[in-house]
């Protein structure tokens, strides 16, 4: 499915589905409580430990403390893909957009939604003067890795983790 681009509120781009039915696809930041809550069913497919009743509070807290933003891709009023991200700066990489979460509804995969949202995030990063676009992906997520490679991403480091007991 080929995508063409037309005006958007953030980076001057939105995506229009050029299929025969000419459905409208929009990508925007989820800023209202209602918008954020509508993202939960898709986000929970990537993060199954999330609880619906706590989702809004967690998103708002992360937004206030760490600048977390939530973007959603909708078509015909339905959320098809979601991305949680933040802008940060580090000594080794400078200003960057870090993607915490990127997920397309499992029933809607391979229809271009993930690619459109990824491209929107890259353009958002450029508009925010970021030098890098980064994300971590679980070692078991082979299909996601294939997708990232097609988007010209490369593995730049290992991410190590140590679970801390209280």
Per residue in 100-116, pLDDT (tens digit) is: 999 999 999 989 999 99
Regarding beta strands 94-104 and 78-90, do their DSSP bridges make them parallel or antiparallel, or are they unpaired?
antiparallel
Task: Return the bridge partners of 83, or none.
Answer: 71, 102
Is residue 8 scored above 60 in pLDDT? no
CA 120, distance to chain mean position in Å, is 9
pLDDT (mean) for 76-100: 94
Per residue in 14-52, pLDDT (tens digit) is: 444 433 334 689 999 999 999 999 999 999 999 999 999
* 3-state SS track over the chain: CCEEEECCCCCCCEEEECCCCCCEEEEEECCCHHHHHHHHHHHHHHCCCCCHHHHHHHHHHHHHHHCCEEEEEEECCEEEEEEEEEEEEECCCEEEEEEEEEEECHHHCCCCHHHHHHHHHHHHHHHCCCCEEEECCCCCCHHHHHHHHHCCCCCCCCCCCCCCCC
What is the pLDDT of the chain when averaged over all its residues?
Answer: 83
Residue 158's pLDDT is 66
Residue 13's pLDDT is 42
Output phi, psi for 28, to 5 deg: -160, 165
pLDDT (mean) for 48-65: 97
* CB-based contact 121:73 (threshold 8 Å): no
Per residue in 113-147, pLDDT (tens digit) is: 999 999 999 999 999 999 998 877 666 676 766 76
Q: Considering only residues 78 and 160, tell me which one the structure prediction assigns the higher pLDDT.
A: 78
> CA–CA separation, 38 vs 48, rounded Å?
16
**Residue 155: partners with Cβ closer than 8 Å, 6 or more residues away:** none
Residue 149's pLDDT is 74
pLDDT band at 11 (very low <50, low <70, confident <90, very high): very low
């Amino acid at each position: 499915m080929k995508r063409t681009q037309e005006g958007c509120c953030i980076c001057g781009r939105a995506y229009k589905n050029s299929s025969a039915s000419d459905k409208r696809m929009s990508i925007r930041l989820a800023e209202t409580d209602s918008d954020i809550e509508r993202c939960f069913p898709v986000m929970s497919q990537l993060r199954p430990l999330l609880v619906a009743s706590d989702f809004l509070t967690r998103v708002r807290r992360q937004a206030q403390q760490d600048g977390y933003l939530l973007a959603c891709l909708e078509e015909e009023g339905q959320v098809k893909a979601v991305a949680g991200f933040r802008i940060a700066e580090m000594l080794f990489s400078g200003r960057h957009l870090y993607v915490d979460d990127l997920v397309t509804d499992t029933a809607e995969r391979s229809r271009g939604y993930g690619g459109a949202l990824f491209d929107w995030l890259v353009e958002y990063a450029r508009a925010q003067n970021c030098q890098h676009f980064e994300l971590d992906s679980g070692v078991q997520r082979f299909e996601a890795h294939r997708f990232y490679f097609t988007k010209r991403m490369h593995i730049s480091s290992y991410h190590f983790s140590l679970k801390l007991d209280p």
